[in-house]
Amino acid sequence: MDVQVFVDLQNQFDSESSLREEISAATKELHKTCRLASAKLSKAHAVPKTQSKQVTDSVKEQFATIHTNIEAIAKQVRPVTFYRYHDMWSMAVQNACAMVIFAVYLEESRLATAADIQSYLGYRVNVTNEDVTEFVITLEEYLHGIISLFSELSRLAVNSVIVNDVQRPQEISQFASELYAGFQLLNLKNDSLRRRFDSIKYDIKKIEEVQYDLRVRGLIA
């Protein structure tokens, strides 16, 4: 038996851990930008619908930074080892997707498609789960981003009443239930997507309670 075998193995592990460090440093930057974007976007909760365009315009700059942040991660990984390190940045990319999805909803009251994600973040969503040949955003990351939208929607329903917009909760409720119908088509297994999906119903309930309060007081038809 040759100790050299183990020395070689150790060298392999060493070079890998320095790669991991670089990826994690790049991911940290992405997290930072996402937090800034999130802080800016959350102002949308405090203003009426008419002003939400200003809010989303103010985060455009962060979306561009997110693109460069993801680029920095993408440079570190080769397609074949994509899934080996995928867990390291997955959470951050989920957040980035959530930001885009919320921003698109605020602007156009619709669900951001995979194509929207690509145009904002510069990377394709792998909706058909095909073999990875370049850096992609996975379908799961996109779906996680959509699930995050539900909690924003339930807050938005409450907050739009605060800014005297009693029509908006109705619109939100309609949209949330349509989106929920989409999610119900999925056959989720017992994984993180499933667990977060289970929390959607509480957000829907909150939106419905807002509508109930408005209607019972005769504030909406």
Q: Which of 53, 60, 84, 205 binds another protein (CB under 8 A)?
A: 84
Taking the complex as a whole, how short is the minimal distance between the CB of residue 166 and another protein, in angstroms? 21
Among the candidate windows 4-12, 42-50, 151-159, 210-218, which touches another protein by CB under 8 A?
Answer: 4-12
φ and ψ of 138, to 5 deg: -80, 160
Q: Give the residue, chosen from 50, 131, 164, 217, that forms a contact with another protein under the rule CB under 8 A.
A: 131
Please count the CA atoms within 13 angstroms of the CA of 151 that sit on its side-chain side.
Answer: 11
- Among the candidate windows 10-18, 41-49, 63-71, 147-155, which touches another protein by CB under 8 A? 10-18
Q: Which is nearer to another protein, 62 or 211 (CB)?
A: 211
Task: Determine, following the binding rule CB under 8 A, whether residue 167 of this chain makes contact with another protein.
Answer: no
What token pair was written down for 210? 């807002």
Note whether 105 and 160 are within 8 A (CB).
no
* Burial class of residue 124 (count of CB atoms within 10 Å of its CB; 0-12, 13-18, 19+): middle
Locus of tokens 């017992």: 190
Cα 82 to Cα 132: distance, rounded to the nearest angstrom:
7
- Contacts for 137 with CB less than 8 Å, ≥ 6 apart: 93, 97, 117, 121, 123, 124, 125, 126
Distance of CA 183 to the CA centre of its chain: 15
Among 13, 18, 21, 119, binds another protein (CB under 8 A): 13
**Of these, 83, 162, 167, 199, which contacts another protein (CB under 8 A)?**
83
Q: In whole angstroms, how close is the CB of 36 to another protein at the nearest point?
A: 30
Which region among 20-28, 30-38, 149-157, 184-192 touches another protein (by CB under 8 A)? 184-192
- Least Å from the CB of residue 23 to another protein: 14
Distance CA 45, CA 24 (A): 32
- DSSP SS3 for 2: coil
- Considering beta carbons, is residue 114 or 163 the nearer one to another protein? 114
Which amino acid, one-letter code, is at 20?
R
Residue 118: CB minimum distance to another protein, A: 14
| Contact between 6 and another protein per CB under 8 A | yes
Chain residues binding another protein by CB under 8 A are 1, 3, 5-7, 9-10, 12-13, 79-84, 86, 110-111, 113-114, 127-129, 131-133, 139, 143, 174-175, 178-179, 181-189
